[in-house]
Chains A and B, each alone.
Chain A
Amino acid sequence: MGLTSQSTGRSTTREIFNIKRNNNEPVIALAGNPNTGKSTLFNALTGLRQHTGNWPGKTVLRAEGSFIHNGRRYTLIDLPGTYSLLANSADEEVARDFICFAKPDATVVVVDATCLERNLNLVLQVMEITSKVIVCVNLIDEARRKKLRVDADKLSKKLGVPVITTAARSGEGLPRLMDVISDVVWGRLTPKPKLVRYTGEVEEAIARLEPKVRAAVGDGINARWVALRLLDGDTKLVQAMEKFLSEKEIVRVAQEVLA
């Protein structure tokens, strides 16, 4: 018997997140800072009318829809807008738990072309959790109006992940975005995120911790990232792991580290 989603435990984790899995449809997550046009992009791709509005906290939980590209159906999840995945608020926890535990087949980080710099923090954080990242530089029409030029190729080289410019409102760049999503999902394109390297001391601690974490949780979630969070004293992540993973071993490892 091959590795079905049942046997690898992925379907059970996704069931907790209430995702209807039809014929192993790939799951794509939309993440991004507040007010970068995630919901507009979501609507443009799915044809749905998810409420959009210009105020923070509009997408309180998450919306789900689907789109068809080259005859294949993809499930799209619109996550709440966050500045970070480091679990300060309920929104951030929803986004983090989803990317970390539901393991989407690709995560599209939507960033605002008019204030790119401040959006890259989240991009780096998502890249630390998963390598299947696509950066969507949205609101490119507004950036043009402000005489800003975004060098997508250079950004892509620097980050090690594909970068697509879009204007979700007018539909610009969406066919290309869907092409790249499918390339990443089906392995025709493998993003190689350039990860943040920390100071010697921190890297040393990660190196010591990572094998222990991997032994406890397997390859289910990114061991380097969990090690980093534990070093940060992130107790909420440990709670989340208790909820989403059956292994109790990690809790023991975590308590050891935090002690």
Chain B
Amino acid sequence: MNNTVSLGCLTNGSFALVTELVAEGLTRRRLLDLGLVPGTKVEVIRRSPVGDPIAFGIRGAVIALRKEVANKVLVNPL
């Protein structure tokens, strides 16, 4: 898996599979609770006008994440 990137870098409309979370403690817990476990398919839906936060489609719901947090999610683009 050499094409792993962070979730915050993907362009709108793209899909990716979660490979790893590089967050710890409560941030990690939060991301897991939102459904971002390895293997989960995520869609980049849109960005706010300033590019942060970003709205993602995760397991049937639209969830906005700050770029800083989204970058702690490593993914393989599809």
Interface of B, secondary structure class, is mixed
Q: Is B29 located at the chain interface by the 8 A CB criterion?
A: yes
Instruction: Determine if B60 and A115 form an interchain contact, defined as CB atoms under 8 angstroms apart.
Output: yes
Residue A84 lies at the interface, judged by CB distance under 8 Å to chain B: yes
A83 touches B33 (CB 8 A): yes
Q: Among A86, A112, A114, A117, point to the contact of B33 (Cβ < 8 A).
A: A86
A-B interface contact total, Cβ < 8 Å: 29
User: What per-residue 1/0 map shows which CB atoms of A115-131 lie under 8 Å from chain B?
Assistant: 10110010000000000
Q: How far is the CA of A115 from the CA of B59 in the complex (A)?
A: 7
State the Cβ distance, B30 to closest chain A Cβ, in Å: 5
Asked whether, in the complex, the Cβ of A88 is within 8 Å of the Cβ of B26, the reply is yes
**CB within 8 Å of A: which B1-53 residues:** 26, 29-30, 33-35
- A: interface residue count bin: 10 to 19
Q: Which of B30, B33, B34, B35 has the most CB of A within 10 A?
A: B33
In whole angstroms, what is the CA distance A8 to B59 when docked?
43
Question: How far is A112 from B59 in the complex, measured between Cα atoms in Å?
Answer: 12
Contacts of B65 in A (CB 8 A): none
Residues from chain A with a CB closer than 8 A to the CB of B60 are 112, 114-115, 117-118
Give chain A residues whose Cβ lies under 8 Å from the Cβ of B78: none
Whether B61 pairs with A88 at a CB distance below 8 angstroms is no
Using CB atoms, name the residue of chain A closest to B25: A233
B33:A121 contact, CB within 8 angstroms: yes
Evaluate contact between A118 and B59: CB separation under 8 angstroms. Answer: yes
Contacts of B33 in A (CB 8 A): 83-84, 86, 88, 121
Write out, one digit per residue, whether chain A residues 92-115 have a CB within 8 A of any chain B CB (1) or not (0). 000000000000000000001011
Complex: A114 Cα to B61 Cα, angstroms? 9
Cβ B58 vs Cβ A88 within 8 A = no
Q: How far is the CB of B37 from chain A (nearest CB, A)?
A: 9
Instruction: Identify the closest chain A residue to B59 (Cβ).
Output: A118
A84–B59 contact, CB under 8 A? no
Judging by beta carbons under 8 Å apart, are A115 and B29 in contact? no
Shortest CB distance A252–B (Å) = 24
Contacts of B59 in A (CB 8 A): 115, 117-118
Chain B residue at smallest Cβ distance from A114 = B60
Cβ–Cβ contact B35 & A118, under 8 A: yes
Contact with B along A68-91 (1 / 0, CB 8 A): 000000000000000110101000
B35 CB contacts on chain A under 8 angstroms = 117-118, 121
CB B63 to nearest CB in A, in angstroms, measures 9
Residues of A within 8 A of B58 (CB): 118
Within the assembled complex, what's the spacing in Å between the Cα atoms of A156 and B52? 40
Query: Which 8 pairs of residues, A with B, have the shortest CB-CB distance?
Result: A115-B60, A84-B33, A118-B59, A83-B33, A118-B35, A88-B30, A88-B26, A86-B29
Sample of 18 A–B contacts (CB below 8 Å): A83-B30, A83-B33, A83-B34, A84-B30, A84-B33, A86-B33, A88-B29, A88-B30, A112-B61, A114-B60, A115-B59, A115-B60, A115-B61, A118-B34, A118-B58, A118-B59, A118-B60, A118-B61
